[in-house]
Amino acid sequence: MKKIFITGASRGLGFEFTKQYLERGDYVIASCRKPEKADDLKEMKTRFSDRLTIVQLDVADEQSRNTVFEEIEKEFDNIDILINNAGIISGNEEESSVLGEIYKEDFSKVFLVNTIAPLLMSERFLPLLENSSNAKIVNISSQNGSIALRNVGGKYSYSTSKAALNMVTKVLSNDLRDKGIVALAIHPGWIKTDMGGSNAPLEIEEPISQIIDLTERSGLSDSGKFLDREGKEVPW
C-alpha cells in the first residue's frame, strides 16, 4: 500500500486522483484550501475512513505548508508519491487575461501557485520522500507550457507558469537523481473539469487512470521528462 499526497484534491483532477488511488487500495493524504466545503471529499471519507486523511493546505502559504508537514510527519514515516496538482488559470482563478488586460498581480499569483509552490512543496516534503524506497514527484503541467507547440495567443500567465514548471521539474530531477527520486512533468490532456470546461473532449476517468499507471511504471530514466498521459514526450 503506497502513501500518496495530493494537492488541490477537492475537485477536478485532484479529486479523481484521490478516488482512483483509494479504489486501488492505497493510502491518500488529500489536501485542499477549504476542507469544510469539500463535500465530495467528505463523502469519500465515509467510504475510506481508514485510508484517507484530509488536510487544510494553501500551497502558496509558507506557514500552511510547514504546518501540514509537521502534522503529516507525526503520523507517517514516508510519502511514496507527491502529486503537485493544485493550480489556477489566472489571478482571478476563473478566466485568463488577454492582451490589453494583463496586470502584474496576475502573473505573481499564477506563478506562486503553479510554479513556485510545487517546488517548495517538493522541498518541504523531501524528508518523507527520502524515506520511501521508490519515491516520485508528479507535477501536473500542460501542453500550454510547450513553447514548441504554442501556436495561439492568450493565457500568458498560465502558459508561462507551466513552461517554468517544466524547467523546475527538470532541475529538480537533476538534484534528486542520486537520491533515487523520480520527478515528472505530465500533461494530462484537455479534460472536462471546472478549469477545463464543458467543451473539453476527454472525460476524467481514463486520463487519470493512465497517469497513475504511467507514474507506477516510470523510473529514473524518465525523470525530468515532460510527458503526456500515455508516456509520450511532449516538446519543450
Residue positions annotated with a catalytic role: 158
Q: Buried b vs exposed e over 141-151: b needs ≥16 C-beta within 10 Å? A: bbbbbbeeeee
Of 37, 79, 32, residue with least CA distance to 54: 32
Sheet arrangement for strand 81-84: 52-56, 27-32, 3-6, 81-84, 136-140, 182-187, 226-228
Numbers of helices and strands, H then E, in the chain: 8, 7
What is the spatial distance between Cα 89 and Cα 111, in angstroms, rounded to a whole number?
A: 10
Q: Phi first, then psi: what are they for 6, rounded to 5°?
A: -125, 125
- Partners of residue 53 on adjacent β-strands: 29
Q: One-letter amino acid identity for 106?
A: D
Question: Is residue 55 within 8 Å of residue 31, measured between CB atoms?
Answer: yes
Q: Compute CA 227 distance to the chain's CA centroid, rounded to the nearest angstrom.
A: 14
Residue listed under C-alpha cell 510519502: 79
Tell me the three cell numbers of residue 91: 489571478
